[in-house]
């Protein structure tokens, strides 16, 4: 299990110089590490459908959207619902169903991860913008 963690978790190095920026980056890194550890059970599935360099960000999105709960359901002020691991909105699911010939529920983690991957690579991560303050702190370049 250690090699699994080491392969996707950001390496959080204590800053050499204790600057405000260095300390902030270190804290963000530790925060992200904790979030990823919380949803690590989804790593094999996410690795199947996302590029290696995007796995950590995808896991952070899962954490921030559903806390890793594939049955999560959340209501919105416009009377729509966000459902599943990736919290697909009713409107998004209706739009994607005929486009991708979807025949299963949003609560199916395999199906929803396949759909999330398609959306991520064909339309971008903006579909999860409502939670991006939670997951956008991950820096792929480090």
pLDDT in tens, the chain (142 residues): 444 444 555 567 666 667 777 777 777 777 888 899 999 999 999 999 999 999 999 999 999 999 999 999 999 999 999 999 999 999 999 999 999 999 999 999 999 999 999 999 999 888 898 888 888 754 544 4
Q: What confidence score (pLDDT) does residue 108 get?
A: 98
Structural domain contains residue 142: no
pTM: 0.82
- Residue 138 has what pLDDT? 44
Domain containing 24 equals 2-135
**Looking at the domain assignment, is residue 113 inside a domain?**
yes
CATH number for the domain spanning 82: value is 1.10.530
Is 140 a member of any domain?
no
DSSP string, the chain: -HHHHHHHSPP-PPPSS--HHHHHHHHHHHHHHHHHHHTGGGHHHHHHHS-GGGHHHHHHHHHHHHTT-TT-EEE-TTS-EEETTTTEEHHHHHHHHHHHT--S-TT-HHHHHHHHHHHHHHT-GGGGGGGHHHHTT--TT-
In a domain, 51, yes or no: yes
141 assigned to some structural domain:
no
**Is 33 among the domain residues?**
yes
Q: Number of folded domains in the chain?
A: 1
Residue 20: predicted pLDDT: 72
Query: Does residue 59 sit within a domain?
Result: yes
State residue 3's pLDDT score: 44
Query: What was the pLDDT predicted at 141?
Result: 45
């Amino acid at each position: 299990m250690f090699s699994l963690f080491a392969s996707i978790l950001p390496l959080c190095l204590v800053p050499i110089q204790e600057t405000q920026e260095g300390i902030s980056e270190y804290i963000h890194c530790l925060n992200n590490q904790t979030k990823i550890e919380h949803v690590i059970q989804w790593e094999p599935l996410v690795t199947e459908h996302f590029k290696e360099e995007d796995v950590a960000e995808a896991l952070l999105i899962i954490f921030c959207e559903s806390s890793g709960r594939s049955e999560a359901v959340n209501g919105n002020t416009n009377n729509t619902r966000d459902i599943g691991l990736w919290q697909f909105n009713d409107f998004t699911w209706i739009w994607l169903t005929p486009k991708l010939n979807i025949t299963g529920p949003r609560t199916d983690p395999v199906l929803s991860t396949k759909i999330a991957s398609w959306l991520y690579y064909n339309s971008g991560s903006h579909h999860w913008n409502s939670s991006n303050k939670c997951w956008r702190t991950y820096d792929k370049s480090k």
